[in-house]
Structures are given as C-alpha cells and as structure tokens.
Amino acid sequence: MITTRRLVKQFGRLRAVDGIDLDVRAGDIYGFLGANGSGKTTTVRMLLGLVLPTSGEIELLGSRMPRAGRRVLPRVGALIEGPAHYGHLSGRENLALLDAAGPGGSWRTRRARIGEVLEQVGLAGVGRRPVKAYSLGMRQRLGLAGALLRRPELLVLDEPTNGLDPQGITEVRELLLDLHREGTTVFLSSHLLAEVEQLCSRVGVLDRGRLVLQDELAALTAPTGSTVVHTPTPDRVRAVLDGRVTATDGERVVVRGADPAEVNARLVGAGIAVTALSLERPTLEQVVLAAAGTSTDRVEAPR
Ligand SMILES: Nc1ncnc2c1ncn2[C@@H]1O[C@H](COP(=O)(O)OP(=O)(O)OP(=O)(O)O)[C@@H](O)[C@H]1O
C-alpha cells in the first residue's frame, strides 16, 4: 500500500526525514509513531505528493509518487494536521464543495454520500451549522468525513485524534476499526504510545527523521519467556522457586519459564497464595525506548 526507499527530506541544514524505508501492507492499521518534530507530518506530506522529496522513492498503491498522483490519490483518503474548511459554510456544504472539486463520485449520489459520512463521524446532527461554530474536535471529525467521501482503499491520517476529548478519541478509534473491518488499510501518525498500542497491528517508530523500528505489534510485544506472578509473599516464592526468580517489585515477581500453569502448580502446592499470573511481555513503551534511546522520552507515555 505504501513503500518508500531511502526517502529523504532536507530543509536547509535540517534533515527532517532521513532515509526511511516504510512498508505498509494491505490490511494493516499502521501506527507511525514519533515525538513532535521527528518528521511525521513531513513524511505524510511527501506520501501524498504535497511536498517533493529531496531524494528517494515513494510507491502508493503500487504506483510511483508524485508522478501517479492524479490516478492514485482519488483512492486515498487523507487527513493532515489542521484540516482547512470554510467557516461561514456548514459542514454539509464544505463536504459538498470538497466532493465537487475532486474526481469521481456522481453529483446524483452526493447528498446521500455526504449524509453517510457525516453519520459515520458522528456529525449528522450538526451538519447544517456553520463550521466556525464547531469545536476543534468537530472540525477534526469533519476532516475525517472528507477523507471518507470516496470510500478510500487507504486512509492516511496525521494525528487524527488531535484536539478530541476522551469520548471523541474512543469514537474515532471505533470508526477506524469499523473501516478496517470493511477492508480499508489505515496509516496513522501519532505521538501517543497508548493510542498506537490499542489500535495498530503494525508499528513504525521515527526518531529524529530515522525509522528506528518497524514490525508487527504482536512480534514487538511477544512473550519474553518469563512468567509474572502476583503474590502477597514474594520472599516465599523466591525460596520455593530457587534461582528462577529474576526480578521482584512489591508483590510482582518475575519467574524464568513460560509455563504459568507449571509455576502456579508449584506455588499452590507449597501453600503460597497466587493473586494473578501471566506471561511477561514488554510494553510498547519499553520496546520504543530500547530502539530509540533517550530522545523518545518526548514520546508521550501511557498514563
Ligand atoms: N517547511 C519547512 N521548512 C523548514 N523546516 C521544516 C519545514 N517543515 C518542517 N520542518 C522541520 O522539520 C522537522 C520535522 O517536522 P514535522 O512537522 O515533519 O514533524 P512531526 O513529527 O510531524 O511533528 P509534529 O507532531 O509536531 O507535527 C521539524 O524540526 C520542523 O521544524
């Protein structure tokens, strides 16, 4: 869906994007994670042909960009930082203009299509109010509605939950999951680890213009081979599982071995209370920190 090879964007002395090889496959919900200023927006703009790369190659839906833009972009829905609208017109009228300006999509079905996307983003009730009366979150949703007008195969979204309240964030997440279930590939940039961890199947991490990590979320957070035990008596666990305890933190004990049932049987057999038991997995935050080093402390951690 998206492939880049050694993609570079240089602004004067600053290398905002520094030789990245993106690989976004059909069916992905791809999370493009990076701190503010790491180069996410610049990358998204290059993917969509809004900024020319300094060097490197981009393929979008199998065709070279920006050359194939006219042909390919109608199949891509996009939302870029701060979508622009006409404030004196209603949401519905803004979408009608957007729809009329682009290729494809008959005017006969325009009303129905606009009604449908307004419904999808939860703006059906306010579609007739002027956009200047909209909150930031409502404008963001109107931007999303615009991206959905042509039932795109690929959605490219730059920080889609920016400015939304917690309920708005949940609604956008549900909407993206619905679209994904119906076959849309989603590429979204975010500086929020928790958002990417909850939503995405593949993750790329940008650090000062470099792609330092790109893999399936499930592979990145695969079990480590240890078991985590919660117990009110960690010292007794240490005594019973002689030598297998690799870490303790309060009531949390990490035991070597990826067989929770075996660990449980041994502890319960010794009369030790086990209050919780799970396979140990690294969090995305730990994985990102390990890959990107100290600079990613600017990536917002889950609260
Ligand atoms: N047109 C431009 N001219 C000069 N420098 C620019 C330009 N656009 C972006 N930059 C710089 O390139 C770097 C990457 O910016 P970019 O907006 O791509 O980052 P980002 O990861 O999207 O951050 P944010 O989340 O804050 O938007 C920044 O240092 C920015 O100041």
Answer whether 206's CB lies under 8 Å from 158's CB.
no
Question: Is the whole-model pTM more than 0.90?
Answer: no
What six digits make up the tokens of 107?
A: 């005017």
Residue 158: C-alpha distances to residues 19, 79, 237 (Å)? 20, 6, 48
Whether residues 138 and 259 fall in one domain: no
> Which residue's CA is the closest to the ligand 1 atom numbered 17?
41
Pairwise CA distance, residues 52 & 42, whole Å: 10
Does residue 294 form part of some domain? no
Whether residues 188 and 155 fall in one domain: yes
Does residue 301 form part of some domain? no
Rounded to 10 degrees, the C-alpha dihedral 228/232/235/239 comes to -70
Pairwise CA distance, residues 221 & 192, whole Å: 17
User: Nearest-5° angle of CA 102, CA 108, CA 109?
Assistant: 75
Whether residues 194 and 240 fall in one domain: no
Whether residues 15 and 89 fall in one domain: yes
CATH, residue 58 = 3.40.50.300
Does residue 296 form part of some domain? no
What six digits make up the tokens of 297?
A: 């402390």
297 Cα–ligand 1 center, Å? 18
Whether residues 36 and 109 fall in one domain: yes
Whether residues 39 and 184 fall in one domain: yes
Q: Kind and range of the H or E element at 16?
A: strand 14-20
User: What's the start-to-end Cα distance of the chain, in Å?
Assistant: 33
CATH, residue 275 = 3.30.70
Whether residues 174 and 243 fall in one domain: no
Whether residues 94 and 27 fall in one domain: yes
Could you check whether the bond before residue 66 is cis, i.e. omega within 30 degrees of 0?
yes
pLDDT at 297: 45
Does residue 303 form part of some domain? no
* DSSP classification of residue 207: E
Please give the single-letter amino acid code of residue 34: G
Look at the chain and report how many structural domains it folds into: 2
157 Cα–ligand 1 center, Å? 16
Which among 220, 235, 253 is the end of a domain?
A: 220
Does residue 300 form part of some domain? no
Does residue 201 form part of some domain? yes
Q: What is the chain's pLDDT, residue by residue, as a tens digit (303 residues)?
A: 999 999 999 999 999 999 999 999 999 999 999 988 899 999 999 999 999 999 999 999 999 999 999 899 989 999 887 678 898 999 999 999 888 887 766 777 888 889 999 998 888 888 788 999 888 888 888 998 998 988 899 999 998 888 788 888 888 888 899 889 989 999 999 988 988 999 999 999 999 999 999 999 999 999 999 999 999 999 999 999 988 999 999 999 999 999 999 999 999 999 999 999 999 999 998 898 888 865 544 454 444
Which among 220, 248, 264 is the end of a domain?
A: 220
Whether residues 52 and 199 fall in one domain: yes
Does residue 70 form part of some domain? yes
CA 114 to mean position of chain CA atoms? 26
Whether residues 138 and 230 fall in one domain: no
295 Cα–ligand 1 center, Å? 16
43 Cα–ligand 1 center, Å? 9
Whether residues 210 and 245 fall in one domain: no
> Which residue's CA is the closest to the ligand 1 atom numbered 31?
37
Does residue 298 form part of some domain? no
Mutate which of 32, 38, 43, 206 to test ligand 1's pocket (most atoms within 8 Å of Cβ)? 38
Whether residues 165 and 273 fall in one domain: no
pLDDT at 294: 53
Its domain, for residue 262, covers 226-279
